[in-house]
Amino acid sequence: MYDLKYLKLLSQKYPNRRAASAEIINLNAILALPKGTEYYLSDLHGEYEAFRHMIQSASGVIKMKINEIFADELNGRQRYHLASLIYNAPAEIKRVKLNPTIDYRQWCKDNILRLIIVCKAVSTKYTRSKVRKRLPKYWEYSMDELLHADDEANKGTYYDAIIDSVIETGMAEVYISQLTQAITELCVDRLHIIGDIFDRGSHPDQIMDYLMQYDDVDFQWGNHDIVWMGAAAGSWACTANILRMNISYNNFDMLEIGYGINLRPLSSFANRVYAKDSCEAFMPKILEENKYDPVSKRTAAKMHKAIAIMQFKIEGQRIKDNPEFNLNHRLLLDKIDYENGTIEIKGKTYELKDTNFPTIDPEDPYKLTDEELRVIRNLQASVTRSKKLQDHIKFLFSHGALYKVMNDKLMFHGCIPVDANGEFEKCTIYGESHSGKAFFDYLDGLVRKAYFSPDEDTKEGAEGDIMWYLWLGAKSPLFGKDQMTTFERLFIADKATHKEHTSGYYKFRDDRVFCERILKEFGIDPKRGHILNGHVPVKIKDGESPIKGEGKLFVIDGGISKAYQKTTGIAGYTFIYNSWLMALAEHKPYMPLQPNGKQTFVAPRIFIVDKLDKRILVRDTDQAEELQAQVNELKDLIEAYRKGLIKEDTSQQ
Ligand SMILES: O=P(O)(O)OC[C@H]1O[C@](O)(COP(=O)(O)O)[C@@H](O)[C@@H]1O
Ligand SMILES: [Mn+2]
């Protein structure tokens, strides 16, 4: 039996049988369309340009379309330039303008036409109204006309008239750029980001800005995201971590200009306290100069050391206040022999690479000095009041979660805690024990509460402790290692101490039965389902494969991170799921644009991992349930009109 009150509300939108029937017809038309392409990326790590290229090129899909459409009309070079235009319109336009042999006006004309043809090819899967919604503001009318002018006899003149006036009004560049953007957005119906947008690379802020224009995007938070979410919630431990990492990668432009985080209190403190200390072990890993905020490497090293020491002190306090986190083995400052400059870890004594600790009181090593306290309070204020950062974090909350299930795919960044037998492990946090999916759901709730409704009596700087735990805790599904050895990496030469052991999950996931059990746990049919993870780079150099569990699980940790390409040998993987197939794209490192406007693009290698028996339609996807429910409600409404239970408004017909 239907709910008459609800139907009355619905009747405001569909006031008569004709309006309701028209909508049913639209919805049925959508259900019969092919499934849109889903595109999966992970571990972007601040590499804005490489990321943008992956999106703009749709991992080679654009190139394939161009090759198909223009096989006879354009030669290889022309097709290459058309692809380059879609990948990076401003750069390609600049190159063309610098070339005196090219008639720019004619070039614009030719290329608007070519782009319209590509746009048409990538929009065949959508309703006309959906395509229009994705076309840029102000141009949607003329672009729609160009896309659908099918009157062969008059088409030529009509096209010419529209394109001429685009050029005449001086809008050709904007028109071309926005058309390329529309092509990209139409090529990918839904974007899944399986975590780790932040850290290492220089511009996660630009990645977030770009993604915020996308409606159909979702995030599965990674450890490098949750630590930023914790900092945004006010956690001192998270704040110290994000600043230490990004100072170590020399990302000052992003911190100070991108997010407006004022590092002056830290730099003047560091320059004073470590004035005579060369801080050799703390030199930035990347020496590329910042455009707006150049910081000398000596100052950067001092800031790095100052914030690292503050981090270890703050973390020590968080560990002691949260015995349940089981992080006692990470209490290291009290294991230092400050007179001899050594440390004892697991019964072994190691020399420290740096023994100058002017701010540590050996009697109370985790206590912040008054100055350090002032600095961290300042930094916390700067981070929590950054409007830009808070907007980005809120978007991560509204469009993200710890995991997602969509169209038989289970996506999460790291792992699921399991015991020695591969059974889902019961983990206890804040007095509650959960395992498997329930553990994810419980943690997800804790994270949202910590950000949106923190307890008022939380100790200063302890806000968002749960995010800090998820950043480096052994039972964190986002981390999945026994320890994070930041201290050892900075202070001890012996590499054996740097080792971080991955959890049992990473062995078990080679096993198909294990993967199927996970799929079942999350309510997915194990025969049809797949798992997608990021987090651990696939080292193809060492013969590793991104395909695990006999094809049930794919690891797409990018390796897009420049800092990691020498270990992986590639620039990572992306995953594509369209109406015909599922494929992995293996990327080669992104070659940045040269100052002379030249750029080389190497298309990724595409491996089809599953071919479907028949083309999948929207009716076969998760979206169908929602659409079908709408159809059913509209049918009920029509029935209610027919029976006279709701009055029809036919005045507008
Ligand atoms: O190489 P870097 O940037 O210093 O980072 C090393 C740290 O990053 C981590 O690997 C976590 O980052 P990922 O999530 O990208 O693996 C830690 O386990 C490790 O201590
Ligand atoms: Mn990660």
Rg (CA), the chain: 28
Structural domain range at position 212: 204-498
pLDDT at 1 over 70: no
The DSSP-derived string for 575-606 is EEE-SSEEEEEEPPPPPPPPTTS-----PPEE
Instruction: Determine whether the shortest distance from the Cβ of 47 to ligand 1 is under 6 A.
Output: no
Structural domain contains residue 523: no
Burial class (CB in 10 A: 0-12, 13-18, 19+), 171: middle
Q: Give the type of residue at 515.
A: C
Instruction: Mark whether 45 and 24 lie in a shared domain.
Output: no
Instruction: Mark whether 165 and 71 lie in a shared domain.
Output: yes
ipTM associated with this complex: 0.95
Q: Which of 482, 484, 566 to mutate to test the pocket of ligand 1 (most atoms within 8 A of CB)?
A: 484
- Give the distance (Å) from ligand 1 centre to CA of residue 568: 14
Q: What are phi and psi of 502, to 5 degrees?
A: -75, 155
Structural domain contains residue 521: no
Q: For 604, how many CA atoms within 13 A lie in the half-sphere containing its CB?
A: 29
Q: What is the pLDDT of residue 405?
A: 98
Q: Are strands 38-41 and 190-193 parallel, antiparallel or unpaired?
A: parallel
Instruction: Determine whether the shortest distance from the Cβ of 223 to ligand 1 is under 6 A.
Output: yes
Structural domain contains residue 288: yes
Structural domain contains residue 522: no
Instruction: Mark whether 279 and 404 lie in a shared domain.
Output: yes
Give percent of the chain above pLDDT 70: 97
Neighbours of 426 (CB within 10 A): 14
Of 638, 625, 406, 413, nearest in space to 528 by CA:
406
Structural domain contains residue 507: no
Structural domain contains residue 511: no
Averaged confidence pLDDT in the chain: 92
Instruction: Determine whether the shortest distance from the Cβ of 474 to ligand 1 is under 6 A.
Output: no
| Ligand 1 atom closest to residue 485's alpha carbon, by position in its atom list | 20
pLDDT at 595 over 80: no
Instruction: Mark whether 237 and 336 lie in a shared domain.
Output: yes
Of 381, 374, 385, nearest in space to 266 by CA:
374
Which ligand is located closest to the Cα atom of residue 561? 1
Instruction: Give pLDDT tens digits for 279-314.
Output: 999 999 987 888 888 889 999 999 999 999 999 999
- Give the distance (Å) from ligand 2 centre to CA of residue 206: 19
What is the number of structural domains in the chain?
Answer: 3
Instruction: Mark whether 638 and 612 lie in a shared domain.
Output: no
Q: Confirm if 201 and 45 have CB atoms less than 8 A apart.
A: yes
- Give the distance (Å) from ligand 2 centre to CA of residue 143: 41
Cα–Cα distance measured from residue 407 to residue 616, given in angstroms and rounded to the nearest whole number: 11
Which ligand is located closest to the Cα atom of residue 537? 1
Give percent of the chain above pLDDT 90: 72
Instruction: Mark whether 87 and 103 lie in a shared domain.
Output: yes
Q: Atom 3 in ligand 1: which residue has the minimum CA distance?
A: 200
pLDDT at 89 over 80: yes
Structural domain contains residue 136: yes
Q: Which distant-in-sequence residues (6+ apart) come within 8 Å of 362 by Cβ?
A: 336, 338
| Ligand 1 atom closest to residue 199's alpha carbon, by position in its atom list | 3
Instruction: Mark whether 24 and 108 lie in a shared domain.
Output: no
Which ligand is located closest to the Cα atom of residue 194? 2
Q: Confirm if 140 and 119 have CB atoms less than 8 A apart.
A: no
- Give the distance (Å) from ligand 2 centre to CA of residue 630: 39
Instruction: Determine whether the shortest distance from the Cβ of 481 to ligand 1 is under 6 A.
Output: yes
Cα–Cα distance measured from residue 174 to residue 180, given in angstroms and rounded to the nearest whole number: 10
Q: Atom 6 in ligand 1: which residue has the minimum CA distance?
A: 486
Of 261, 301, 310, nearest in space to 281 by CA:
301
Instruction: Mark whether 105 and 151 lie in a shared domain.
Output: yes
Q: Which residues on neighbouring strands pair with residue 404, listed in sequence order?
A: 411
Whole-structure pTM over 0.90, yes or no? yes
Q: Confirm if 277 and 356 have CB atoms less than 8 A apart.
A: yes
Instruction: Mark whether 410 and 473 lie in a shared domain.
Output: yes
Instruction: Mark whether 111 and 209 lie in a shared domain.
Output: no
* Angle, helix 48-57 to helix 76-87, in steps of 10 degrees: 120
Q: What is the pLDDT of residue 136?
A: 80
- Give the distance (Å) from ligand 2 centre to CA of residue 439: 19
Q: Are strands 530-533 and 553-555 parallel, antiparallel or unpaired?
A: parallel
Q: Which residues on neighbouring strands pair with residue 320, listed in sequence order?
A: none
- Give the distance (Å) from ligand 1 centre to CA of residue 24: 51
Structural domain contains residue 389: yes
Q: Which distant-in-sequence residues (6+ apart) come within 8 Å of 593 by Cβ?
A: 49, 88, 91, 599
Domain final residue, candidates 498, 520, 551: 498
Instruction: Give pLDDT tens digits for 95-153.
Output: 898 889 999 889 998 999 899 999 999 888 888 888 888 888 877 778 888 787 766 66
Instruction: Mark whether 284 and 320 lie in a shared domain.
Output: yes
Instruction: Determine whether the shortest distance from the Cβ of 304 to ligand 1 is under 6 A.
Output: no
Which has more confidence, 210 or 145?
210
Q: Confirm if 25 and 560 have CB atoms less than 8 A apart.
A: no
Instruction: Mark whether 190 and 217 lie in a shared domain.
Output: no
